[in-house]
A and B are shown apart, each in its own frame.
Chain A
Amino acid sequence: MDKAIELTRLTWRAGKVFSLDEIGLNVPTGSIYGFLGPNGSGKTTTVRLLTGMIKPDSGSIRVLGMEVPGELPSILRRVGYVPERPHVYPAFTAREQLDYHASFFERWDGGWAGKLMTRLGLDPSRRLSRMSKGEIGKLLILLALAQRPDLLLLDEPTDGLDPVVRRDVMSAVLDCVSETGATVFISSHLVHELERICDWVGVMDNGRLLAELPMQQFKNGIKRIRVHGAPELADEAPFTLLSRDRTNGPASMETWIVRGWEEPMRDYFDRVGATLRDVIDLDLEESFVELLRSSRPTHAHEG
């Protein structure tokens, strides 16, 4: 099984306003896949479709090589799920919640759960309703990890948590991957957090999957270049011009955002009589923003 998650032409509609439009998503087994997108882009809906909580209008969903919803219990047995909003019982103590959860999963590792409990600094006798947001966040990841899953499905696991807790959570996830080689599917709009960790990235916007590729390609693929004396039309450019900005800097200097850039493409500028001043690398967040900006219909005129 080379794909931990495979969505084919997945469509889901709710009313007239929002829909998921023919999503084709592939998560290679053993990878850490970052599912990026702004709020409301359909990330949580996609995750809920993956867990079988909602049904698609058309298309197929395969998780760990099995069909959703046909083989759902077998799938869920091997999936550690952290939902967007805590789903655990507030009246339980941490210990009680752990024991309750453990009773449903054969692979539950009590020793590992105990170690994580200590490492994350959780008090087993503390009632969940009295826990801080950060502690609940840590508990949720603990529950998912101690199941010893083959796939970790994390829906905004660190949203609203302070930086220290975020590090603790991600550290526990990395440790799990080191030890078990589990696949991680992590959905987040906190882009910078995923930059060092993910080796694949899928970008959602407005119910569509804009891009899905290895992280390295994504980051390197989009560059900001500064051009002097740029031509009016750039139709013959070997790269994809995502946007051009004439407003910043001196009159004849433009800033272009391009996709698919490679070094030999410098020749293009010589050919059109322009000067390439600078090629600037973008980090994941900037690449993400530029991709989103260029894919949305522009209302303002350029430049």
Chain B
Amino acid sequence: MFHDLDPRSPTPLYEQIAARVRVAIASGELTPGETLPSMRQLAQRLRVNPATVVQAYRDLANDGFVETRHGQGTFVKEVPGRVREEERRAHALSLVNRLLQDAARLGIGTDELVRAMETATGAEIRG
């Protein structure tokens, strides 16, 4: 799930981890009541500073996405629909922004991108 963690990105690692979990919850990849790996296990798996995972889980708990019960682990919470929708929207926007950045670097315009998207999806984007 975390295979695209990017140490190079200006986004801190804890933020990347938290964001990935949020999107997974929003899309239903992680279901309410499901346990996340322990902080220790995740730090091992991702080969990151345990403090990074602690921070990520803490932020997720503060935002209401997860709940940590002492001695039992961290569980996914039931998150209201509009929050999940908002999360999906935010993530889609960040994906698009990244695409636009890459395109701008290569000198490819927005029109060209839209046409490429229509070709790829087979759907019309602009009515």
A and B: real partners? yes
B47 touches A197 (CB 8 A): yes
- Take A178-B39, A178-B40, A179-B40 as given contacts and tell me if A281 and B47 are in contact as well, using a CB distance cutoff of 8 Å: no
Excluding A174-B44, A174-B47, 19 further A-B contacts by CB distance (< 8 Å) are: A30-B51, A32-B49, A171-B44, A171-B47, A174-B43, A175-B40, A177-B49, A177-B51, A178-B40, A178-B43, A178-B50, A198-B49, A199-B51, A219-B8, A277-B105, A281-B8, A282-B8, A283-B7, A283-B8
- Take A197-B49, A199-B49, A283-B8 as given contacts and tell me if A278 and B43 are in contact as well, using a CB distance cutoff of 8 Å: no
Residue B103, interface by CB 8 Å? no
A-B contact count (CB 8 A): 53
Residue A195, interface by CB 8 Å? yes
B interface residues (Cβ-Cβ under 8 A, vs A): 5, 7-10, 12-13, 39-40, 43-44, 46-52, 105
Residue A130, interface by CB 8 Å? no
A281 touches B7 (CB 8 A): no
Residue A75, interface by CB 8 Å? no
A30, A197, A278, A282, most chain B CB atoms within 10 A:
A197
Residue A170, interface by CB 8 Å? yes
Bound CA–CA A20/B8 (angstroms): 31
A175 touches B9 (CB 8 A): no
Residue A299, interface by CB 8 Å? no
Residue A44, interface by CB 8 Å? no
Residue A284, interface by CB 8 Å? yes
With a cutoff of 8 Å between Cβ atoms, the chain B residues found around residue A277 in the complex are: 105
Partner of A175, one of B8, B44, B51: B44
**Closest residue of chain B to A196, judged by CB?**
B48
Bound CA–CA A278/B50 (angstroms): 34
Residue A129, interface by CB 8 Å? no
With a cutoff of 8 Å between Cβ atoms, the chain B residues found around residue A167 in the complex are: 47
Bound CA–CA A177/B54 (angstroms): 12
With a cutoff of 8 Å between Cβ atoms, the chain B residues found around residue A199 in the complex are: 49, 51-52
Residue A216, interface by CB 8 Å? yes
A window 196-230: CB within 8 A of B: 196-199, 216, 219-220
Bound CA–CA A178/B52 (angstroms): 11
**Closest residue of chain B to A176, judged by CB?**
B50
Bound CA–CA A219/B7 (angstroms): 9
With a cutoff of 8 Å between Cβ atoms, the chain A residues found around residue B12 in the complex are: 216
With a cutoff of 8 Å between Cβ atoms, the chain B residues found around residue A219 in the complex are: 7-8, 10
B47 touches A220 (CB 8 A): no
**Closest residue of chain A to B13, judged by CB?**
A196
Question: B21 to nearest A CB, angstroms?
Answer: 17
Bound CA–CA A178/B40 (angstroms): 6
With a cutoff of 8 Å between Cβ atoms, the chain B residues found around residue A32 in the complex are: 49, 51
**Closest residue of chain B to A171, judged by CB?**
B44
Bound CA–CA A199/B52 (angstroms): 9
Between-chain CB contacts (< 8 Å), 29 pairs: A30-B51, A32-B51, A167-B47, A170-B47, A174-B47, A174-B48, A174-B49, A175-B40, A177-B50, A177-B51, A178-B40, A178-B43, A178-B44, A178-B50, A196-B7, A196-B13, A196-B47, A196-B49, A197-B47, A197-B49, A199-B49, A199-B52, A216-B12, A220-B10, A281-B10, A282-B8, A283-B7, A283-B8, A284-B7
**Closest residue of chain B to A216, judged by CB?**
B12
With a cutoff of 8 Å between Cβ atoms, the chain A residues found around residue B48 in the complex are: 174, 196-197
A195 touches B7 (CB 8 A): yes
Question: A110 to nearest B CB, angstroms?
Answer: 22
With a cutoff of 8 Å between Cβ atoms, the chain B residues found around residue A282 in the complex are: 8
B9 touches A281 (CB 8 A): yes
Partner of A278, one of B5, B46, B105: B105
With a cutoff of 8 Å between Cβ atoms, the chain B residues found around residue A278 in the complex are: 105
